[in-house]
């Protein structure tokens, strides 16, 4: 993957994200889409694990692919859930000092936190994307699918987290007006 391609696609993605993140209705739709994807993945995990238990303990015919499906689904579900946690402020935070700050300083700290998250997610996303393309020819042992699709979950996590952090920054700026 060439650096020029990465820069052009990154610029396009940033413009789309900035336009998208500023709209509350769009963000709610995006959140709901990924909530339903996470729910579907949870259902898939439950079904495959039950199938594996039934196949091993009752039918005495183990199904080999169920473990990979459950593992890959869990990875995708966890990362989608972590990104949704960023939007809903569901992650653990210690705000004993920040809550005692004046309102203006509190907003500055919130802005710096979100900018730090965006910076880290850009780096994480860049290396995740590179890693995904490097794993393009690596196949999962049982399912035989490219591991690129599994590792792309990290890229999706990065992009969702960036979008949700940008939304928070826009909300901080709106509150100032």
User: For each of the chain's 177 residues, which pLDDT tens digit applies?
Assistant: 555 655 555 566 556 666 665 566 888 899 999 999 999 999 999 999 999 999 988 888 888 899 999 999 999 999 999 999 999 988 878 878 888 889 889 889 989 999 999 999 999 999 999 999 999 899 999 999 999 999 999 999 999 999 999 999 988 888 776
DSSP 3-state helix, strand, coil percentages of the chain (rounded to 5)?
A: 80, 0, 20
pLDDT at 32: 93
Q: Which tokens is 154 given?
A: 């990290």
Q: Give the total number of structural domains in the chain.
A: 1
Question: Element (H or E) spanning 100, and its range?
Answer: none
Full residue range of the structural domain in which residue 96 is found = 3-176
pLDDT at 101: 86
Please tell me whether residue 91 adopts helix, strand or coil conformation. Answer: coil
Rounded to an integer, what distance in angstroms lies between the CA atom of residue 75 and that of residue 167? 25
pLDDT at 26: 83
CB 61 within 8 A of CB 55: yes
Q: Which tokens is 114 given?
A: 């979100």
Q: Which tokens is 9 given?
A: 């696609």
The whole-model pTM stands at 0.82
């Amino acid at each position: 993957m060439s650096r020029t391609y990465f820069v052009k696609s990154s610029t396009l993605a940033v413009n789309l994200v900035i336009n998208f993140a500023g709209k509350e209705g769009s963000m709610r739709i995006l959140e709901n889409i990924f909530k339903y994807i996470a729910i579907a993945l949870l259902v898939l995990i439950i079904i495959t694990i039950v199938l594996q238990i039934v196949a091993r303990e009752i039918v005495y015919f183990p199904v080999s692919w169920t473990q990979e499906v459950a593992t890959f689904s869990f990875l995708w579900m966890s990362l989608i859930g972590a990104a949704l946690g960023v939007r809903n402020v569901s992650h653990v935070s210690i705000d004993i000092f920040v809550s005692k700050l004046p309102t203006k300083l509190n907003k500055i700290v919130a802005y710096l936190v979100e900018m730090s998250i965006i910076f880290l997610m850009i780096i994480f996303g860049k290396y995740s994307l590179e890693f995904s393309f490097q794993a393009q020819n690596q196949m999962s042992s049982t399912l035989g699918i490219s591991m690129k699709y599994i590792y792309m979950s990290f890229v999706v996590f990065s992009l969702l987290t960036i979008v949700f952090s940008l939304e928070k920054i826009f909300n901080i700026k709106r509150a100032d007006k």
